[in-house]
Amino acid sequence: MTRKDRIRKVFDATGELMPDDKTYRRFALSFLNRLISLDIGKGDVSAFPENVYGVPVEAFIIAKSPAIVAGLAETTMFLKEFYLTAETKFRNGDAISQGEKLLKIKGNVKDILAVERTILNVLQRLSGIATATKEYTERVAGTDCFVVTTRKTLWGMLDKSAVQHGGGFSHRLGLYDAAMLKENHLAALRNSGQPNAIRDSIQEIARRYPRLRFIEIEVRSENEFREIVNSFKSIETPMPKVIMFDHFQPAAIIPIVDELDRQNLRDEIFLEASGNVTLETISDYAKSGVDVISVGALTHSVKSADFSLLFSTDINPSKNAF
């Protein structure tokens, strides 16, 4: 197995972020139902008189700008629960061009209007995440480095699923599937009065949770890096070990990676870069020798894709083919 394959195995949780996975499916449907219930409340007070809004109609969701599609399978599942039928030629991860029809929906006018804003919000946000991720992954093409998301999400597993459709990985799904000792964990351990607190913490985590996907420690300086390397060297763990460079410049990472190579430790420790990574800097980080680069901007401040929903009567008949 190549190093790149091993990195993929550690950080790729694709199988757990698909509608076929029962846990993910329950989360997605529960989340979307919560969104719609908050929106509808006691009922849509705008949809009267009833005889106008109770007639069947076709509606289309149309891309107003190019995007990478995400949230589509989840939206289709959700629409079925509202007795609305949905047709599409696209799948999550596909590219859609401006003006193309993403989804055709059939049902009563009132029912479609009730879900319109919710499904647009979902498709726009998740497709925006996938589109941004695609931009970042294209900047690291040709390297052995991967782009991963963080836990800086609004919508948890939905956001992380959207990242994978843009070509990124999910990193941790939550606090339960991988261990990560960050700044505040390390401060608590160092202030505990126990001289071997960090090493003991790593050892106990590995003993209690041997099936974790990985155990990771954040470092903010070369000295901290060497401290964690020494702790990792002294402990055998059943899961992979990862060190995260927090707010390091790419040029500062290169000699540290070389140092790890000289100690013949490169194969047993994976490396991550994190902290204010941008489209302009990610290529330099990828060339520094790290294995993954985490980008919080993929989910915490992403620009949504631009979609709209129109009834078929509002669309030019010559463009109504689907």
**Comparing C-alpha atoms, which of 266, 35, 30, 296 is closest to residue 147?**
296
Residue 3 is assigned to a structural domain of this protein: no
Kindly give the confidence (pLDDT) of every residue in the chain, 322 residues in length, as a single tens digit, with 9 standing for 90 and above.
Answer: 888 899 999 999 989 999 999 999 999 999 999 999 999 888 888 878 888 888 999 999 999 999 999 999 999 999 998 889 999 999 999 999 999 999 999 999 999 999 999 999 999 999 999 999 999 999 999 999 999 999 999 999 999 999 999 999 989 999 999 999 999 999 999 999 998 999 999 999 999 999 999 999 999 999 999 999 999 998 999 999 999 999 999 999 999 999 999 999 988 899 999 998 999 999 999 999 999 999 999 999 999 999 999 998 766 554 545 6
Element at 215 (helix H, strand E): strand 215-219
CA distance 159 to 121: 13
Do 75 and 179 lie in one domain? The reply is no
Do 190 and 57 lie in one domain? The reply is no
Do 57 and 142 lie in one domain? The reply is no
Residue 71 is assigned to a structural domain of this protein: yes
Percentages of the chain per state (helix, strand, coil), in multiples of 5: 45, 15, 40
Do 91 and 48 lie in one domain? The reply is yes
Contact criterion met (CB below 8 Å) for 33 and 119: no
Residue 1 is assigned to a structural domain of this protein: no
Residue 6 is assigned to a structural domain of this protein: no
Residue 2 is assigned to a structural domain of this protein: no
CATH number of the domain that 66 lies in? 3.90.1170.20
Do 59 and 147 lie in one domain? The reply is no
CA distance 159 to 28: 11
Provide the β-strand partners of residue 169: 148
Query: 227 is written with which tokens?
Result: 């401290």
Instruction: Give how many domains the chain has, as a whole number.
Output: 2
Do 174 and 53 lie in one domain? The reply is no
Do 98 and 151 lie in one domain? The reply is no
CATH number of the domain that 266 lies in? 3.20.20.70
CA distance 292 to 282: 10
DSSP 303: P
Q: Could you list the residue range(s) of the whole structural domain that residue 177 is in?
A: 135-300
Do 95 and 150 lie in one domain? The reply is no
Do 143 and 80 lie in one domain? The reply is no
Residue 4 is assigned to a structural domain of this protein: no
Do 121 and 148 lie in one domain? The reply is no
Do 291 and 194 lie in one domain? The reply is yes
Do 107 and 182 lie in one domain? The reply is no
Residue 85 is assigned to a structural domain of this protein: yes
Distances 49 to 53, 81, 111, 177 between C-alpha atoms, Å: 7, 25, 14, 51
Task: Output Rg (C-alpha) for the chain, integer angstroms.
Answer: 23
